[in-house]
Amino acid sequence: MLINFPYIERDSFVHRLDPRTKLIILFAFIFLMALSSNFWLILAGLLVAIVYYSLARLTWAETKTAWFYIMVLALTLVIFNYFITAGAVVQSINLSHQHILYQLPFFQFTSKAPFVTGGPLIFSVESITFILTQLMRNIGIGLFVVPVSYTINPAEMGVALKGFGLPDNIAYAIELSLRFLPTIARDFTVTYDAQRARGFEIDKLRSGVFGRIARMAPLIVPVIIGSIVDSEDIISAMELRCFGVAKRTWLIQLHPHRTDLIIICLSLSILVTAIVLNILGNFSTQPVFYFLHTQGIPHFLVP
């Protein structure tokens, strides 16, 4: 079943923000979280993300599908990386004197044939802390990503991208791409209901994989054909309006408020400061500069 993440109209602090503000703070947060694996920095970012998400006033019933995919993806990436590296997943950290808690017989990948050899699966304070840091980072990013889909009106996305200086054709192409999945989901639902009224039951399909695909044709073919027809209609409408021939105007105009400017300036200032500290940390071991290069293991975890 196709999943649709619809825009939810609501009067909240995040809804009232300019779409460009939401996109800027999203990418600023992502870059900031990618600069370091320090436990305390990522924890602070997670707390900020929780506050930001709570201001959007989105309910669990409205966003549970999105969170299901986010959590599955986050856990899969973290756990897969842990096992594929045999516990040596800590980046930029010296693991020669790690605090090992437990070891299990496992395997490791090598650069020489047969490319797999025996080795221990290490559970250490450093590796577990790194896993927690990765989970907090992924969840924090998710807390900023979800409001983008649920609080930005699709009609304002093209205008927002145009406000970043993108050409009209690129801005409108991205806007149409973001509308594609919701449109497909709507057509899929309509087609499924129409076929069920004619006696088609997807739960009663009995055969192999290829047989099921063939019997799904009454459901899949109309959706694909409808998408192609809709695309042709959009192309014809844009050609009739001479899209791309001259500079165009947009019906919706965005006007950032003082709150938007303050949030943008604060976000970019924090990001620039973190970048400068990260660069200085490559040349100095002073705590004020080097803390972004440390793992920041909580003292109560070290035996």
The domain segmentation of the chain, as residue ranges, is 1-82+127-152+257-303, 154-254
Residue 250: helix, strand or coil by DSSP? coil
The confidence score (pLDDT) of residue 1 equals 36
CA distance 10 to 122: 48
For the chain, the helix, strand and coil percentages under 3-state DSSP, each to the nearest 5: 65, 5, 30
The confidence score (pLDDT) of residue 262 equals 95
pTM of the model: 0.76
* Contact in structure between 58 and 150 (CB atoms under 8 Å): yes
The confidence score (pLDDT) of residue 283 equals 81
* Contact in structure between 292 and 39 (CB atoms under 8 Å): no
- Candidates 141, 138, 136, 130; CA nearest to 298 is 130
- Candidates 95, 159, 153; CA nearest to 128 is 95
> What type of residue sits at position 249?
T
Token pair belonging to 50: 């929780």
Tens-level pLDDT at each residue, the chain (303 residues): 344 457 888 889 999 999 999 999 999 999 999 888 888 899 999 999 999 999 999 989 888 888 998 899 888 888 877 776 655 555 555 455 666 766 666 666 666 666 666 666 677 777 788 888 889 999 999 999 999 889 988 778 888 888 888 887 788 777 777 777 777 777 777 887 887 777 766 666 566 666 666 667 777 788 888 888 877 887 787 777 777 777 777 777 888 899 999 999 999 999 999 999 888 888 877 877 788 877 777 666 666
The confidence score (pLDDT) of residue 190 equals 82
* Contact in structure between 41 and 101 (CB atoms under 8 Å): no
The confidence score (pLDDT) of residue 302 equals 63
